[in-house]
Amino acid sequence: MPTSAALAAPTRYDRVARALHWSIAALILAAFALGLTVDAFPKTWKYAVTELHKVIGVTILLLVLLRVAWRLGHPVGAAAELSGGMRRAAAAGHAGLYLLMLAVPAIGIAFSLLRGQGLDFGFAAIPPLMEAAARTVSRPVKEVHELAAYALIALAGLHALAALWHHLVLRDSVLRRMLPEH
Ligand code: HEM
Ligand code: HEM
Protein backbone atom coordinates (compact mmCIF):
# COMPACT_ATOMS: atom_id res chain seq x y z
CA MET A 1 0.00 0.00 0.00
CA PRO A 2 1.76 3.25 -1.08
CA THR A 3 2.06 5.92 1.58
CA SER A 4 0.56 9.36 1.00
CA ALA A 5 4.12 10.75 0.58
CA ALA A 6 4.78 8.22 -2.22
CA LEU A 7 1.47 9.10 -3.89
CA ALA A 8 2.32 12.79 -3.71
CA ALA A 9 5.87 12.28 -5.04
CA PRO A 10 6.47 13.69 -8.55
CA THR A 11 7.04 11.11 -11.30
CA ARG A 12 10.14 12.73 -12.79
CA TYR A 13 13.50 13.91 -11.48
CA ASP A 14 13.83 17.63 -10.76
CA ARG A 15 16.51 19.90 -12.26
CA VAL A 16 18.94 19.43 -9.34
CA ALA A 17 18.64 15.61 -9.39
CA ARG A 18 19.17 15.58 -13.17
CA ALA A 19 22.16 17.92 -13.03
CA LEU A 20 23.75 15.79 -10.30
CA HIS A 21 23.01 12.50 -12.15
CA TRP A 22 24.63 13.56 -15.43
CA SER A 23 27.57 15.48 -13.98
CA ILE A 24 28.44 12.61 -11.61
CA ALA A 25 28.15 10.08 -14.48
CA ALA A 26 30.56 12.17 -16.63
CA LEU A 27 33.02 12.62 -13.73
CA ILE A 28 32.97 8.86 -12.97
CA LEU A 29 33.86 8.09 -16.60
CA ALA A 30 36.69 10.67 -16.47
CA ALA A 31 38.05 9.31 -13.14
CA PHE A 32 37.88 5.73 -14.47
CA ALA A 33 39.65 6.62 -17.74
CA LEU A 34 42.42 8.54 -15.91
CA GLY A 35 42.84 5.76 -13.29
CA LEU A 36 43.31 3.14 -16.01
CA THR A 37 45.64 5.17 -18.21
CA VAL A 38 47.83 6.85 -15.57
CA ASP A 39 50.76 4.55 -16.42
CA ALA A 40 50.45 5.27 -20.15
CA PHE A 41 51.31 8.96 -19.67
CA PRO A 42 54.97 10.10 -19.85
CA LYS A 43 56.69 9.74 -16.44
CA THR A 44 56.82 13.52 -15.93
CA TRP A 45 52.99 13.68 -16.22
CA LYS A 46 52.23 10.85 -13.82
CA TYR A 47 52.06 13.04 -10.71
CA ALA A 48 49.69 15.58 -12.32
CA VAL A 49 47.45 12.86 -13.81
CA THR A 50 47.21 11.01 -10.47
CA GLU A 51 46.39 14.24 -8.61
CA LEU A 52 43.75 15.15 -11.22
CA HIS A 53 42.25 11.65 -10.80
CA LYS A 54 42.14 12.14 -7.03
CA VAL A 55 40.65 15.66 -7.21
CA ILE A 56 37.91 14.42 -9.59
CA GLY A 57 37.32 11.41 -7.29
CA VAL A 58 36.96 13.55 -4.16
CA THR A 59 34.59 15.87 -6.08
CA ILE A 60 32.50 12.79 -7.00
CA LEU A 61 32.31 11.73 -3.34
CA LEU A 62 31.16 15.23 -2.25
CA LEU A 63 28.58 15.44 -5.08
CA VAL A 64 27.22 11.94 -4.27
CA LEU A 65 26.78 12.92 -0.59
CA LEU A 66 24.92 16.06 -1.73
CA ARG A 67 22.85 13.93 -4.12
CA VAL A 68 21.86 11.43 -1.41
CA ALA A 69 20.80 14.31 0.86
CA TRP A 70 18.81 15.92 -1.99
CA ARG A 71 17.18 12.60 -2.93
CA LEU A 72 16.11 11.92 0.67
CA GLY A 73 14.49 15.36 0.83
CA HIS A 74 12.87 15.09 -2.64
CA PRO A 75 11.26 11.66 -3.16
CA VAL A 76 10.50 10.55 -6.74
CA GLY A 77 7.73 8.05 -7.54
CA ALA A 78 8.54 5.05 -9.79
CA ALA A 79 7.66 5.34 -13.51
CA ALA A 80 3.94 4.59 -13.78
CA GLU A 81 4.33 1.87 -16.48
CA LEU A 82 6.69 -0.33 -14.44
CA SER A 83 5.61 -3.71 -13.02
CA GLY A 84 6.39 -4.59 -9.40
CA GLY A 85 9.31 -6.81 -10.50
CA MET A 86 10.84 -4.05 -12.63
CA ARG A 87 10.49 -1.54 -9.79
CA ARG A 88 12.30 -3.90 -7.44
CA ALA A 89 15.06 -4.58 -10.02
CA ALA A 90 15.52 -0.82 -10.62
CA ALA A 91 15.59 -0.08 -6.87
CA ALA A 92 18.21 -2.84 -6.28
CA GLY A 93 20.34 -1.59 -9.19
CA HIS A 94 20.15 2.02 -8.01
CA ALA A 95 21.04 1.00 -4.42
CA GLY A 96 24.09 -0.89 -5.78
CA LEU A 97 25.13 2.16 -7.82
CA TYR A 98 24.83 4.48 -4.80
CA LEU A 99 26.85 2.05 -2.66
CA LEU A 100 29.65 1.77 -5.23
CA MET A 101 29.63 5.53 -5.96
CA LEU A 102 30.41 6.05 -2.26
CA ALA A 103 32.73 3.06 -1.76
CA VAL A 104 35.05 3.54 -4.78
CA PRO A 105 36.20 7.09 -3.90
CA ALA A 106 36.27 6.29 -0.16
CA ILE A 107 38.62 3.33 -0.80
CA GLY A 108 40.64 5.55 -3.17
CA ILE A 109 41.11 8.07 -0.35
CA ALA A 110 42.14 5.26 2.04
CA PHE A 111 44.71 4.05 -0.51
CA SER A 112 46.08 7.54 -1.07
CA LEU A 113 46.43 8.07 2.72
CA LEU A 114 48.15 4.69 3.14
CA ARG A 115 50.57 5.65 0.37
CA GLY A 116 51.49 8.71 2.44
CA GLN A 117 50.06 11.11 -0.17
CA GLY A 118 48.25 14.41 0.31
CA LEU A 119 46.01 16.04 -2.28
CA ASP A 120 47.42 18.63 -4.71
CA PHE A 121 44.84 20.93 -6.35
CA GLY A 122 47.54 22.83 -8.26
CA PHE A 123 46.69 26.19 -6.66
CA ALA A 124 46.57 24.72 -3.12
CA ALA A 125 47.45 21.42 -1.46
CA ILE A 126 46.48 19.29 1.53
CA PRO A 127 49.69 17.79 3.03
CA PRO A 128 49.97 14.02 3.66
CA LEU A 129 48.10 13.13 6.87
CA MET A 130 50.27 10.09 7.69
CA GLU A 131 53.52 8.32 6.83
CA ALA A 132 53.33 5.79 4.00
CA ALA A 133 52.30 2.32 5.24
CA ALA A 134 54.10 -0.85 4.11
CA ARG A 135 53.27 -1.88 0.53
CA THR A 136 51.87 -5.16 1.89
CA VAL A 137 49.18 -3.03 3.56
CA SER A 138 48.51 -0.49 0.78
CA ARG A 139 48.70 -2.89 -2.20
CA PRO A 140 45.52 -4.88 -1.33
CA VAL A 141 43.64 -1.58 -0.80
CA LYS A 142 44.66 -0.53 -4.33
CA GLU A 143 43.42 -3.89 -5.68
CA VAL A 144 40.04 -3.43 -3.94
CA HIS A 145 39.82 0.17 -5.26
CA GLU A 146 40.41 -1.12 -8.79
CA LEU A 147 37.97 -4.07 -8.50
CA ALA A 148 35.24 -1.88 -7.00
CA ALA A 149 35.78 0.65 -9.83
CA TYR A 150 35.31 -2.15 -12.40
CA ALA A 151 32.12 -3.26 -10.61
CA LEU A 152 30.83 0.35 -10.65
CA ILE A 153 31.48 0.74 -14.39
CA ALA A 154 29.95 -2.68 -15.18
CA LEU A 155 26.79 -1.93 -13.18
CA ALA A 156 26.55 1.59 -14.68
CA GLY A 157 26.87 0.02 -18.16
CA LEU A 158 24.02 -2.41 -17.46
CA HIS A 159 22.01 0.49 -16.02
CA ALA A 160 22.57 2.60 -19.18
CA LEU A 161 21.59 -0.36 -21.39
CA ALA A 162 18.42 -0.85 -19.32
CA ALA A 163 17.58 2.87 -19.72
CA LEU A 164 18.05 2.66 -23.51
CA TRP A 165 16.01 -0.56 -23.67
CA HIS A 166 13.14 1.18 -21.86
CA HIS A 167 13.34 4.11 -24.25
CA LEU A 168 13.87 2.36 -27.59
CA VAL A 169 12.15 -1.03 -27.12
CA LEU A 170 9.51 -0.61 -24.40
CA ARG A 171 9.03 3.07 -25.38
CA ASP A 172 8.04 4.07 -21.85
CA SER A 173 8.79 7.24 -19.85
CA VAL A 174 11.83 5.93 -17.90
CA LEU A 175 14.62 7.76 -19.80
CA ARG A 176 12.57 10.95 -20.27
CA ARG A 177 12.24 11.21 -16.46
CA MET A 178 16.00 11.88 -16.34
CA LEU A 179 16.14 14.24 -19.38
CA PRO A 180 15.36 18.00 -19.61
CA GLU A 181 11.62 18.67 -19.86
CA HIS A 182 11.65 20.08 -23.41
C1 HEM B 1 34.49 7.23 -8.60
C2 HEM B 1 35.74 7.61 -8.38
C3 HEM B 1 36.95 6.81 -8.77
C4 HEM B 1 37.12 5.86 -9.76
C5 HEM B 1 36.09 5.34 -10.77
C6 HEM B 1 38.50 5.40 -9.65
C7 HEM B 1 39.07 4.42 -10.47
C8 HEM B 1 40.40 4.06 -10.44
C9 HEM B 1 41.01 3.07 -11.30
C10 HEM B 1 40.28 2.23 -12.36
C11 HEM B 1 42.33 3.01 -11.00
C12 HEM B 1 43.39 2.09 -11.62
C13 HEM B 1 43.74 1.03 -10.61
C14 HEM B 1 44.96 0.21 -10.94
O15 HEM B 1 45.54 0.36 -12.03
O16 HEM B 1 45.35 -0.58 -10.08
C17 HEM B 1 42.58 3.96 -9.94
C18 HEM B 1 43.82 4.20 -9.36
C19 HEM B 1 44.02 5.08 -8.33
N20 HEM B 1 43.08 5.82 -7.65
FE21 HEM B 1 41.12 5.94 -8.13
N22 HEM B 1 39.13 6.08 -8.63
C23 HEM B 1 38.22 6.95 -8.07
C24 HEM B 1 38.45 7.81 -6.99
C25 HEM B 1 39.66 7.97 -6.34
C26 HEM B 1 39.90 8.87 -5.21
C27 HEM B 1 38.85 9.76 -4.53
C28 HEM B 1 41.20 8.74 -4.88
C29 HEM B 1 42.00 9.43 -3.77
C30 HEM B 1 41.77 10.65 -3.33
C31 HEM B 1 41.80 7.79 -5.79
C32 HEM B 1 43.14 7.42 -5.78
C33 HEM B 1 43.72 6.56 -6.68
C34 HEM B 1 45.16 6.31 -6.73
C35 HEM B 1 46.23 6.95 -5.83
C36 HEM B 1 45.35 5.38 -7.78
C37 HEM B 1 46.67 4.79 -8.26
C38 HEM B 1 47.15 5.62 -9.42
C39 HEM B 1 48.56 5.19 -9.78
O40 HEM B 1 48.71 4.11 -10.38
O41 HEM B 1 49.47 5.91 -9.41
N42 HEM B 1 40.83 7.33 -6.66
N43 HEM B 1 41.39 4.57 -9.61
C1 HEM C 1 28.43 6.24 -14.25
C2 HEM C 1 27.24 6.32 -14.83
C3 HEM C 1 25.91 6.35 -14.10
C4 HEM C 1 25.59 6.20 -12.77
C5 HEM C 1 26.55 5.98 -11.60
C6 HEM C 1 24.14 6.32 -12.65
C7 HEM C 1 23.43 6.22 -11.45
C8 HEM C 1 22.07 6.34 -11.31
C9 HEM C 1 21.32 6.22 -10.08
C10 HEM C 1 21.95 5.91 -8.71
C11 HEM C 1 20.00 6.43 -10.36
C12 HEM C 1 18.84 6.40 -9.36
C13 HEM C 1 18.43 7.82 -9.07
C14 HEM C 1 17.49 7.90 -7.89
O15 HEM C 1 16.37 7.42 -7.98
O16 HEM C 1 17.90 8.47 -6.87
C17 HEM C 1 19.91 6.67 -11.78
C18 HEM C 1 18.74 6.92 -12.46
C19 HEM C 1 18.64 6.93 -13.83
N20 HEM C 1 19.69 6.85 -14.74
FE21 HEM C 1 21.63 6.70 -14.33
N22 HEM C 1 23.61 6.52 -13.90
C23 HEM C 1 24.65 6.54 -14.81
C24 HEM C 1 24.56 6.71 -16.18
C25 HEM C 1 23.38 6.70 -16.87
C26 HEM C 1 23.25 6.70 -18.34
C27 HEM C 1 24.44 6.67 -19.31
C28 HEM C 1 21.92 6.71 -18.62
C29 HEM C 1 21.20 6.69 -19.97
C30 HEM C 1 21.61 6.03 -21.03
C31 HEM C 1 21.20 6.75 -17.35
C32 HEM C 1 19.83 6.81 -17.21
C33 HEM C 1 19.13 6.88 -16.02
C34 HEM C 1 17.69 6.99 -15.93
C35 HEM C 1 16.71 7.03 -17.09
C36 HEM C 1 17.37 7.03 -14.55
C37 HEM C 1 15.98 7.08 -13.93
C38 HEM C 1 15.53 5.66 -13.72
C39 HEM C 1 14.19 5.53 -13.05
O40 HEM C 1 13.55 6.51 -12.78
O41 HEM C 1 13.80 4.43 -12.77
N42 HEM C 1 22.11 6.73 -16.31
N43 HEM C 1 21.18 6.61 -12.34
Total-model pTM: 0.94
* pLDDT tens for each residue of 14-53: 999 999 999 999 999 999 999 999 999 999 999 999 999 9
What CATH number corresponds to the domain at position 171? 1.20.950.20
Give the Å distance between the CA of 42 and the centre of ligand 2.
35
Dist CA 128 CA 149 (whole Å): 24
Residue 7 domain flag? no
Dist CA 143 CA 149 (whole Å): 10
- Count structural domains, the chain: 1
Quick one: DSSP state of residue 123? S
Dist CA 157 CA 165 (whole Å): 12
Residue 11 pLDDT level (bands cut at 50, 70, 90):
confident
Looking from the CA of 179 toward its CB, the CA atoms found within 13 Å total: 8
Residue 1 domain flag? no
Q: 151 Cβ partners below 8 Å, 6+ apart?
A: 100
Q: Where in the sequence is the domain holding 134, given as residue range(s)?
A: 12-178
Mutational test site, ligand 2, from 16, 21, 171, max ligand atoms within 8 Å of CB: 21
